[in-house]
Copies of this chain bind each other. A is one copy, B any other.
Amino acid sequence: MRFFDKLDDRVRACNSILCIGLDPDSSKLPQGLGIMEFNRKIINATSEFCCAYKLNFAFYEAAGAEGLNALKETVKMIPGGIPVIADAKRADIGNTSRAYASAIFDYLGFDAATVNPYMGFDSLQPFIERDDRGIFILCRTSNPGAADFQDLFTSYSGSRRAIFELVAGKADEWNSRGNIGLVMGATHTDELSLIRKELPEMPFLVPGVGAQGGELAAVVESGKTFNPGGLIINSSRQIIFASSGPYFSSAAAEAARSLRDGINSCR
């Protein structure tokens, strides 16, 4: 089954475009709890409210062997039917990128992955060739440094366009398998609108709502499209670390429900 079909199905089934980021920052975990047990409780409490989970590899890698085991086991513990996205932002030369794709899709079992476009087509090809998996290419990210290179203007093909617009254009050009989406930060909705106008059907994964400060209504308005899973909005810390007390999982459930409802009221 194609990734974006699986995502569409899940969005329909749960009536949510909320993606929850399982980013178990060790400095924020409830005392005495390992990553795996934390994730299990968060997943049990929140799965009905989300269309997907996204795991950022950095927090698992920082926890060493325990973290890497938790990364693999967490993918397994997520209920079938809920797509799981590897937020790994990988890319390298061809034969090396193939090893990354194999690690993420085959060894770890993820449904989709985020990738970094700086090294160009052949660095993403081993991911794109996997037509049963989804690929989200970083386009305009939500952090301040995004302005350093992504926003620079070029005179490509005679028209004045920013680098992130060219990345979006290339992503569309490379999308013959229909398995490519874009990571579009929520902090600058002008960019979101611009790319949505150019690519009406391209799926967007939008991080930066919540802890990073993107405004919900503007994001939904700017990014919306026809496909159910064509716009998914990620929140991590605001949900999973809603409380650090003993009832952290019900606090996470409440935060997830509330954000899902908030998003749905804008759709």
Mark A residues whose CB is within 8 Å of B.
Answer: 23, 25, 56, 58-59, 61-65, 68-69, 72, 89-97, 99-100, 102-103, 107, 116-124, 138, 141-150, 152-156, 163, 166-167, 170, 212
Contact = CB atoms under 8 A, between A and B. Distances in A.
A152 B89 CA distance: 22
If over half of A's interface residues share one DSSP class (helix, strand or loop), that class is named, otherwise mixed; here it is helix
Contacts of A141: 93, 118-119, 123
B56 A107 contact: no
B146 A119 contact: yes
Given A58-B96, A89-B90, A100-B58, A120 B150 contact: yes
Task: Report copies per complex.
Answer: 2
A166 B143 contact: no
B154 A153 contact: yes
Contacts of A121: 144-145, 148
A40 B94 CA distance: 26
